[in-house]
Amino acid sequence: MEGERPAPVTHHPFQCIASLEQGDKPLLLAACGAELLAYSFADRVAASRWCSGNTDPTAETINGHANSSDERPAKKQKRDSKKPSSLSRIISIRVAPDQSHVIVVTEDKVVHVLDVSPGGAFTELSQRAMPKRPCAVRTLPDSSTILIGDKFGDVYSLPLIVPEYDEQLAQAGAEGAKSTVEPALFKPSATPLTVHTKRNLRALESQKKQKLVTPRKEPLAFEHKLLLGHVSMLTDMVHATREVDGKTRRYILTADRDEHIRVSRGPPQAHVIEGYCLAHTDFVSKICLIPGTDLLVSGGGNDWLGVWDWPRCELLAKVDLRKALSHLLPSVDEKMAVSGIWVVPVAARTDRWALCVACEKLPALAFIDCSTLGNGSPAGAAVTVFKTGEAAVLDVTYYGANAGYTLLALDDRRSDGCRVRVVQVNGTVDDGETGSKLTISEVDALDEPLKQLSASDGVAKDGAALDSFLYTTANLRKRGGWDEENEA
């Protein structure tokens, strides 16, 4: 919250997590600063580590666990000598539907594609530097194409696997983005001897004060397509498919800082806008599709979640978040900012899902039964609040749809506790006041093994700098007067 002193730092939290399931050996992928760690749930060990600054495409294996049991353990790779402060931190992780590739985006605007072996070993396949910082990453269902939305408002499509003829150009483009190019000194072509009028002399003096020449922007040196653009900062994006007249159509739904949710057709007709979902009066930071339905849930700077019939661009309901989370706010007039919306499975229930919502810096999650969304009830959907102690929730993922294990990445920097906690979303109970509510239980048997991963890496000392990296959603809120955009 605003005016709050940064918490003392004993270790760096996991800013992003994702799960990857290859056969019967699910993996937890956790980003800690510039490093990506793979944790094997089956073996209860950390399997491998990849660093964004490592020039070796093969990641370091930990104790040989990333190798299959019938192979000789791989030799431990030498760690990169760069200092952690000089490495580019990870801002996004996205697992492709084929469960064999991971897209990692770093602060230096580079999109890394990693191959993941069944044992959890990482091999970097490509690096592609984008012109603006990516803020939303999705992959198409066939795992052949990546959709990248950036802070400038543009959405690009890139092939997941870089064609052979493109590899050298992509590598050169990534290296060019990381290298520091000295700008040339500016030298006016005119002199006082060739300029005579007062107006031109003033212009010449102004030119002399310009010390550097703005470098010319080079085109992207790899295969890409510009699909669509917003006139405002893009904040989130999802890809959807829907049956229309017996044919499967693809759609791209995008949200921006100017309260818009746009429904566009998928490639190659992404320039065609189907409509807008308009009701928010503040920024929209997150949007989420509900599986098996035409429902979209949106959240941002307002005190409520919007439940939409997105093909018709119709608002069906508003879920009051402030009412559910008001006891956690430091003051009654404190503004809220939705920092994450996820869909997680309900344990032991096939095709039943729960909505999971995080508000920035609040030590709690709001859970909602997806079957109650958009049902037209005037009371709205019942919200179950799960408190996470004093630690805010940074990211959420799940594995094992039947078991329904939901993993929470926590900003638990104040202690040596577990940075990842495991819970199960169970069935509903009637509390007599608000109707049926979900119940949440902690899975201690999985929490304990994860503590070894939590205690291993990521020491950080500057709490204020860490806050500015982890908590950016509230900065989307527009303020009075001249509005300056964040640097892309």
Contacts 24+ apart (CB under 8 A), 397-402: 397/17, 397/18, 397/19, 397/28, 397/342, 398/19, 398/344, 398/345, 399/19, 399/21, 399/26, 399/28, 399/41, 400/21, 400/26, 401/345, 401/350, 402/345, 402/347, 402/348, 402/350
For residues 207 and 209, what is the distance between their CA atoms, to the nearest angstrom? 5
Give the rounded distance of the alpha carbon of 278 from its chain centre: 23
DSSP 212: B
> 45: part of which helix (H) or strand (E)?
strand 45-51
The region that residue 210 occupies, defined by phi over 0 for left and psi between -120 and 50 for alpha, beta otherwise, is beta
Structure tokens at 78: 């030498």
For residues 212 and 192, what is the distance between their CA atoms, to the nearest angstrom? 20
Q: Which of 305, 269, 299, 271 is nearest to 287 (CA)?
A: 299
Kindly provide the b/e burial profile for residues 454-465, where b requires at least 16 CB atoms within 10 angstroms of the residue's own CB: beebbebeeeee
For residues 328 and 321, what is the distance between their CA atoms, to the nearest angstrom? 11
Q: Which of 363, 309, 64, 242 is nearest to 298 (CA)?
A: 309
Per the CB < 8 A criterion, the answer to whether 154 and 226 are in contact is yes
Residues 6+ apart with CB under 8 A from 391: 363, 410, 411, 412, 414, 417
Phi, psi of 452 (to 5 degrees): -65, -35
The bridge status of strand 420-430 relative to strand 405-410 is antiparallel
Structure tokens at 310: 């997105």
3-class DSSP assignment, residue 346: coil
Identify the pLDDT of residue 452.
Answer: 65
Per the CB < 8 A criterion, the answer to whether 134 and 105 are in contact is yes
Q: Which of 447, 467, 463 is nearest to 455 (CA)?
A: 447
Kindly provide the b/e burial profile for residues 293-304, where b requires at least 16 CB atoms within 10 angstroms of the residue's own CB: ebbbbbbbbbbb
3-class DSSP assignment, residue 286: strand
Identify the pLDDT of residue 47.
Answer: 85
Phi, psi of 471 (to 5 degrees): -115, 95
Q: For domain 287-443, is the CATH number 2.40.128?
A: yes
Identify the pLDDT of residue 178.
Answer: 53
3-class DSSP assignment, residue 28: strand
DSSP 83: -
Q: Which of 58, 63, 22, 64 is nearest to 41 (CA)?
A: 22
For residues 352 and 199, what is the distance between their CA atoms, to the nearest angstrom? 72
Q: Which of 224, 67, 256 is nearest to 160 (CA)?
A: 224
* Residues present in the chain in total: 488
> 407: part of which helix (H) or strand (E)?
strand 405-410
3-class DSSP assignment, residue 424: strand
For residues 42 and 415, what is the distance between their CA atoms, to the nearest angstrom? 27
Identify the pLDDT of residue 82.
Answer: 46
Amino acid at site 252: I
In the chain, where the domains are located? 287-443
Q: ∠ CA(148), CA(153), CA(155), 5° rounding?
A: 30
What ranges in 249-384 are assigned the alpha helix state H?
321-325
Per-residue pLDDT of the chain (488 residues; tens, 9 = 90+): 555 656 556 678 999 999 998 877 889 999 999 999 999 887 888 889 999 877 666 666 665 555 444 444 444 444 444 444 468 999 999 999 999 999 999 999 999 999 999 888 999 999 999 999 999 999 999 999 999 999 999 999 999 999 876 666 555 555 555 554 455 565 666 677 676 677 777 877 777 666 555 556 667 889 999 999 999 999 999 999 999 889 999 999 999 999 999 999 999 999 999 999 999 999 999 999 999 999 999 999 999 999 999 999 999 999 999 999 999 998 888 999 999 999 999 987 778 899 999 999 999 999 999 988 977 655 567 899 999 988 999 999 998 767 789 999 999 876 666 789 999 998 777 665 555 789 999 987 776 667 766 545 555 567 888 899 999 999 999 876 444 444 44
Identify the pLDDT of residue 362.
Answer: 96
Amino acid at site 474: A
Per the CB < 8 A criterion, the answer to whether 466 and 460 are in contact is yes
Tell me how far CA of residue 151 lies from CA of 109, 143, 180, 256, in angstroms: 11, 24, 22, 9
pTM for this prediction? 0.83
Identify the pLDDT of residue 69.
Answer: 43
For residues 453 and 89, what is the distance between their CA atoms, to the nearest angstrom? 18
